[in-house]
Amino acid sequence: MNPVLMVLFAVCVALGAALLLVFRKLRAQDHSQPITAQWVFGFSSETYRPLERLLNEEDFRFLLSQPGFDRKAVARLRTERRRIVKRYLSNIRHDFDRVCSAIHVLMLQSQQDRPDLAAILVKQKAVFGLALAAVHFRLVLHAWGLAAVDVRELVSTLEKMRLQMRQLVPGAGTGLA
């Protein structure tokens, strides 16, 4: 058999296996609960307020001034807090997607057409996506000591969408899913 064909076959098999793993991982990650009125009225963006302080430089400066804390200890703490922020970002993205899904469901179930709401949804998705990308980029810069990380726009966008979602729900006893 031709060596070029063998290599091409091996690459195709490897790509197929990689795609299979990616699809399995994506399918396995969807552990979301149904979107219900109880979830809509119970959801709060306050969960993400600690994000605003996790990488606060004042905390690190304070720790450096304390006996027993050196630059290496603070560097380890900064690294660990960046990991925590990344987990929070994954959760906030998931919650934002759930809120958007709830709004979609509510728009479909609505008696009246809401093109204004569809436009708001598209705009907020774009704002959130850009803000999320900016935070990830700033996390990389933060690891190099070049930038602070500000998540307020992310949390603010999620809060706007949460309020929009709650306005659409006719009452707390209504099931959405």
- Residue 155: other Cβ atoms inside 10 A: 19
Same domain? 48 vs 130: yes
Number of residues in the chain: 177
Same domain? 95 vs 11: no
- Residue 174: other Cβ atoms inside 10 A: 13
Containing structural domain, residue 15: 1-31
Same domain? 62 vs 104: yes
pLDDT over 90 at 113, yes or no: no
| Model pLDDT, residue 174 | 44
Q: Encoding tokens for residue 25?
A: 């991982």
Per-residue pLDDT band at 80 (split at 50, 70, 90): very high
Q: What rounded mean pLDDT belongs to the chain?
A: 83
pTM summary value: 0.72
Per-residue pLDDT band at 21 (split at 50, 70, 90): low
